[in-house]
Structures are given as structure tokens and as C-alpha cells.
């Protein structure tokens, strides 16, 4: 089983400047199909995700653990 696709999510707090990146992987093979992870893990941000499995997960919300501000996000 290998990595078929990946998405990098970068979170930045506009209030305190904390930033962190996380990767969500789509693993699988030609024989077994693909399976997206349920979301990326972040140490500095509290996150909520929807999707995973057969669909790429979507970041629903992200909050800075240090100051409680909503994070700004970008995906690559």
C-alpha cells in the first residue's frame, strides 16, 4: 500500500502568530482502491474535520489552543 495523494494544510493564528502544518494522506493501491485519513493532527490548534475514507476530508474549523482565536488556513 502506498500514498496516492496528499493535501497539506497550514494553520496560522492571526492574534498570537502561532503556525503549524499538517498533512492528510490518501493511501491505497490499484487493487484495493484508496482511503483518505480522517484529518491531520495539530499540536497548537484544535481542529474539526468532515469526510475521510472515500472522500478527501475537509477542515471544518480550527482554533488556536494558546489564545482561542479562529485560525487562518490554507491548503496546498
Q: For 5-45, what is each residue's pLDDT tens digit? A: 999 999 999 999 999 999 999 998 878 788 999 999 999 99
**Structural domains in the chain (count):** 1
Q: Give the per-residue pLDDT at 75.
A: 63
User: Looking at residue 16, what DSSP letter applies?
Assistant: T
Detail the DSSP E strand segments found in 13-76.
19-29, 33-36, 45-52, 55-64, 72-75
Place of cell 468532515: 50
Can you give the residue range of the structural domain that contains 48?
2-75
Distance CA 36, CA 3 (A): 10
Q: For 52-73, what is each residue's pLDDT tens digit? A: 899 999 999 999 999 999 999 9
Other C-beta atoms within 10 Å of 49: how many? 17
Amino acid at each position: 500500500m502506498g500514498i496516492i495523494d496528499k493535501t497539506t494544510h497550514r494553520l496560522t493564528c492571526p492574534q498570537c502568530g502561532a503556525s503549524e502544518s499538517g498533512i492528510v494522506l490518501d493511501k491505497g493501491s490499484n487493487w484495493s482502491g484508496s482511503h483518505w485519513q480522517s484529518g491531520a493532527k495539530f499540536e497548537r490548534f484544535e481542529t474539526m474535520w468532515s469526510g475521510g475514507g472515500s472522500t478527501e476530508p475537509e477542515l471544518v474549523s480550527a482554533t488556536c489552543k494558546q489564545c482561542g482565536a479562529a485560525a487562518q488556513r490554507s491548503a496546498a
